[in-house]
Structure formats: C-alpha cells, structure tokens
Amino acid sequence: MLKFRGCLAGGLVGDCLGSPFEGDIVVPKPALQKFIAKQLEEQTEKLPSFQVFSYTDDTAMTKSIAQSLIEMKKFDPKDMAKRFALEYNKEPKRGYGTNVVDVFAALMLANYEHPFEPAKRQFGGLGSYGNGGAMRCGPVALYGYSMEQNRLIELTRDCARITHSNLLGYNGAILQCLAINQALHIHSPLKGLIDINAFLNGLIEKMSKVETDSERNENNGSERIPTPFTDKLRKVKEILNNELKGTFYSVDKIVAILGNDISALKSVPTAIYAALRGQFPIDGFESNSPFVRTLFFAVSLGGDTDTIASMACSISGAIYGIDAIPRILLKHCESNDVMEKYADDLYRLVRCNN
C-alpha cells in the first residue's frame, strides 16, 4: 500500500515540480536547489503565499488510466480512449504533445470505435515515438502488480497503443512499467541502498526479450535485431558503476549519452538512471533523501523535465514508499489527495483479484 501510494504520489510530484523548468536547455543547479528548498520549507498551506503547482498532461492522462482501470475493473480500451479524449476536451491547456491531440479528435469522431486505429495514422503511418505512453503508466504497473510478466507487458503495450503505435513509443512504456513493477517488488528500507546492478540486470534481461520478440514480429527475417532500449540500459549500468567508483558524469555528458527530450528512447532510460542516481550524493545539492535527490537530479538535466522527473520519481516512490516523500512537497501539488485515493483503490482491486 505504501509503495502503491509512493508510485502515484511520486509521479505527481515530479510532474508538478518539474514542469516549471520544461524545455529549459540549462537548469542552473543553485536556482534549482533554491526552488526545491523553498518547497521543502515547513509552512502552512493556508498562507496566501503558499504555492500549489498545477499538474500537466502527464498526470491528466495518468488519472484517466487510473479511473478507467478502477471503474471498469479491467482494461477496456474504448473506455480508456474516451476518458483521454474527454479529459483533454475539458482541460486542453495542460501542455499535451503537439500531435497526440489529433488522436483524441479522431477517437471522438469515431465514437471510440476501433480505439487503436487513430494512433496508427500518426506521423505518416509510423505512429508516435513520443514519451506520452510511458509517462502515464504508473497505474498500469499497480494494476498489474501480481500479473504474470507477459500479461503485464501486453497490457502496457495496449494502454500505450491507444495513442502511441510506434514500436519505440510503446516499448518505452513497457520499460517504464517494468521498472516500476520491479521497484514495487523489491524490499527496501526507508533510506537504504538498493542493489543497482541487480535492478538493472533484471530490466536488461526483460527488455532484451521484449525488444527481440517485438522486432521479430514486425520485420520477419531481419538479420540483426535492434535493441535500442536494452543498449541504453547497459549504458545506464556503465555510468552508475563508474560513478559508484568515484568517476562522476556532468549533466552535459549524461544528456549526450542518454538524452532528455520528448521521445521515449531519450527519456525513459534517463528517468531510470535518475531514479537510481538519487541513491548517492549529488554535486551541488544537499539532501539525504534519495527521493528528493532524484527529483533534483531529474530536473537538473533540463529538456522534458516534467516527464523525466515524473517517471523517475514514480520509480523512486515505488522503491521507497510514500513515507519517503516529504509531505510538504506533496502539498505543493494539485490533486495530491486524489492520487493517493487512486493508489488505494488500485491496491484494493489487486487484492480482490488474487
């Protein structure tokens, strides 16, 4: 239950507190340190100066997925598609991806019949490789907590395919979901270190199977099967092992190797790295909380800060649980009470299904 709450609350904190920096090429560390310290200051929310940060499309779509799974008690693609589109129509100014909004319009026009079709027409038939499928998969990982691995992968792929039919778009969602799923299942003390190599080896093994299987299905007979997400995970492992030995990487170097943009390939592995990087001290930032360090680190990379921080913090929240997230940070986020309720509802649903 604490890990379920930690996952959804973490995702919300990353989105709300990351979004003021979205699109910044450089996020100066002193300014970011000051920003986070300000939000951590114990002050009463009743003061008029207490700032509550709005969530963006990342959380809007996460909420729709949670609502759909909770109310339908199963994956119902038409219902999920409808919730995405209606939510967008209700509040279009949440910073949605430029192209995904065409999917919502087409879904609505077809009255949600064939909910996977509009996404296939994106980008001249290639489908979107944006990180919009990955950014919203927290509730999928919770709902699929005790599912057999292949079923969870299939469910995640289908939830993503409503808007993202490109292989890189939905495989990014699968990787993010598997990372959360692993985080939920590991035992972790409040501030202790988790075994980074064991965590990454698990993901590398699973993702390499996902990538080789899906490529085999897509282009039969191709000789060398590309495994871009697995390759990125190996880089994450190499960087973290070097850093554990004392060789630290600059922000520029991390961005050059892993990326920080709106594509799934250049943001999901980056978020996984940020989630694990929070375990040890970070240059230019004083905090002994792995969760807060992950938030700082993810935002400090610049680029798609709301989404990278949201994905990183949902993994961190799933590792450490809600108690590791400073209450005051959550109070600065719109809808924090709702996210906790969804986490509890999903927890109950998982327990009923077993």
- Amino acid, res. 280: F
Q: Is 158 marked within a binding site?
A: no
| Angle separating helix axes 268-277 and 290-300, nearest 10 degrees | 140
Span near Mg ion by CB under 5 A; candidates 137-145, 243-251, 306-314, 346-354: 306-314
Q: 149 vs 188, 195, 207, 300, CA distance in Å?
A: 22, 21, 11, 33
Q: Does 314 bind ligand R7I (CB under 6 A)?
A: no
Task: Determine the distance from the C-alpha atom of residue 72 to the mean position of all C-alpha atoms in its chain, rounded to a whole number.
Answer: 23
Span near ligand R7I by CB under 6 A; candidates 37-45, 89-97, 143-151, 313-321: 89-97
Give the footprint of Mg ion on residues 52-71 (CB under 5 A): 56-58
Q: 171 vs 164, 204, 207, 209, 306, CA distance in Å?
A: 10, 13, 9, 11, 20
Give the Cα separation of 47 and 36 in Å (integer): 18
Q: Which helix (H) or strand (E) holds 290?
A: helix 290-300
- Residue from 59, 67, 131, 289 touching ligand R7I (CB under 6 A): that is 131
- As given in the structure block, the two tokens for residue 166 are 């490109």
- As given in the structure block, the two tokens for residue 159 are 């939830």
Q: Is 307 marked within a binding site?
A: yes
- Residue from 16, 69, 100, 142 touching ligand R7I (CB under 6 A): that is 100
Residue with Cβ nearer Mg ion (79 or 306): 306
Residue with Cβ nearer Mg ion (304 or 340): 304
Give the Cα separation of 281 and 258 in Å (integer): 20
First to last CA, the chain: 15
Which one of ligand R7I, Mg ion, none is in contact with 242 (Cβ closer than 5 to 8 A by kind)?
A: none
Nearest distance, CB of residue 137 and ligand R7I, angstroms: 12
Give the Cα separation of 152 and 88 in Å (integer): 26
**DSSP state, 7?**
H
Span near ligand R7I by CB under 6 A; candidates 29-37, 94-102, 137-145, 201-209: 94-102
Which one of ligand R7I, Mg ion, none is in contact with 99 (Cβ closer than 5 to 8 A by kind)?
A: ligand R7I
- Residue from 108, 126, 186, 225 touching ligand R7I (CB under 6 A): that is 126
Q: Does 304 bind Mg ion (CB under 5 A)?
A: yes
Q: Is 304 marked within a binding site?
A: yes
Q: Does 340 bind Mg ion (CB under 5 A)?
A: no
Give the Cα separation of 338 and 41 in Å (integer): 23
Give the Cα separation of 289 and 295 in Å (integer): 10
Q: Does 139 bind ligand R7I (CB under 6 A)?
A: no
- Amino acid, res. 318: A
- Residue from 55, 129, 296, 347 touching ligand R7I (CB under 6 A): that is 129
- Residue from 87, 211, 306, 340 touching Mg ion (CB under 5 A): that is 306
Q: Does 130 bind ligand R7I (CB under 6 A)?
A: yes
Give the footprint of ligand R7I on residues 211-270 (CB under 6 A): 262
Which one of ligand R7I, Mg ion, none is in contact with 50 (Cβ closer than 5 to 8 A by kind)?
A: none
What's the farthest any 2 CA atoms get from each other in the chain?
A: 64
Q: Write out the binding residues for Mg(2+).
A: 56-58, 304, 306-307
List of residues contacting ligand R7I (CB under 6 A): 56-58, 95-100, 123, 126, 128-132, 135, 166, 262, 304, 306-307
